[in-house]
């Protein structure tokens, strides 16, 4: 985006230093921030805030504070855009269903609302946001999804490998059995035509403070 919009300045945040230090466009900056501890920016700073694949990882108890902080640093008239995975899974095969159920149970145990993303348009009404839009897009894993589907399959297989220790401990399955399930997942998506839904929600902060009548 920084390359496509050279007249704008971009600030990225993450809890770990993921930003490339050697080379990056001059209109970008990065701050290492734990979003659950607040945003180190003044009020009304940003015209646009984009948050992608992060909210689905946040514990429910932190969400009100996170949204208050987002609203504080967003300029009046500015826009918030949230992209994330919904909890909807279409035509999962047995391996994928296994991961999905365990993942869901583990998230619940960690205080994360697995269904938050699908409920976002309703959830955002609690804040002063207006003009709330939502669109969902279905993407097939693997061959049926073309290049994007193949990349998503690789990405999700990597996510499941990353979660191996947590999910093995949580569900008392051996590491070997777990790795076999990841392999099964990679091949079964083409047989079952498995797909998932991505959600994009965007909304505007009013130019003037709404009166809470
Ligand atoms: C799935 S990745 C998405 C990365 C990036 N937003 C993107 O769309 O490519 C989730 C990111 O959230 C970051 N993250 C997790 N907890 C966080 C927190 N409390 N504060 C800030 N970032 C956090 C992780 O370090 C990770 O980089």
Contact by Cβ (8 Å): 73, 49: yes
Evaluate: CB of 36 within 6 angstroms of ligand 1. yes
pLDDT(204) > 60 = yes
pLDDT(41) > 90 = yes
80 found inside a domain? yes
* Number of domain units in the chain: 1
d(CA 127, CA 123): 8
User: Would the pTM of this model clear 0.95, i.e. be above it?
Assistant: no
What value does the mean pLDDT of the chain take?
93
pLDDT(24) > 90 = no
d(CA 57, CA 14): 13
Residue range(s) defining the domain that contains residue 167: 33-204
CATH code of the domain covering residue 83: 3.40.50.150
Based on its alpha-carbon atoms, the radius of gyration of the chain, rounded to whole angstroms, reads 19
114 found inside a domain? yes
14 found inside a domain? no
**Distance between Cα 62 and ligand 1 center (Å):** 15
DSSP 144: G
Predicted confidence at residue 137, as pLDDT, reads 95
47 found inside a domain? yes
18 found inside a domain? no
DSSP 112: B
- To test the pocket of ligand 1, the residue of 11, 13, 15, 82 to mutate (highest count of ligand atoms within 8 Å of its CB) is 15
- Can you tell me the mean pLDDT for 157-168? 91
pLDDT tens, residue by residue, 122-144: 889 888 899 999 999 999 999 99
């Amino acid at each position: 985006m920084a390359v496509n919009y050279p007249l704008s300045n971009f600030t990225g945040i993450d809890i770990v230093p993921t930003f490339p230090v050697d080379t990056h466009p001059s209109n970008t900056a990065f701050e290492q921030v734990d979003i659950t501890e607040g945003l180190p920016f003044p009020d009304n700073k940003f015209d646009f805030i984009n948050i992608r694949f992060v909210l689905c990882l946040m514990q429910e108890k932190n969400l009100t504070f996170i949204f208050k902080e987002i609203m504080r640093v967003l300029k009046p008239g500015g826009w918030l855009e949230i992209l994330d995975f919904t909890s909807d899974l279409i035509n999962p095969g047995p391996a994928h269903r296994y991961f999905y159920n365990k993942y869901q149970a583990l998230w619940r145990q960690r205080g994360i609302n697995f269904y938050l993303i699908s409920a976002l348009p309703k959830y955002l009404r609690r804040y002063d946001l207006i003009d709330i839009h939502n669109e969902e897009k279905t993407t097939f894993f693997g061959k049926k999804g073309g290049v994007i589907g193949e990349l998503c399959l690789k990405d999700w297989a990597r996510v499941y490998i990353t979660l191996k220790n947590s999910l093995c401990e949580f569900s008392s399955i051996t590491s070997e059995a777990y790795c076999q399930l990841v392999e099964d997942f990679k091949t079964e998506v083409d047989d079952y035509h498995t797909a998932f839904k991505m959600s994009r929600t965007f909304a505007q902060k009013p130019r003037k403070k709404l009166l809470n009548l």
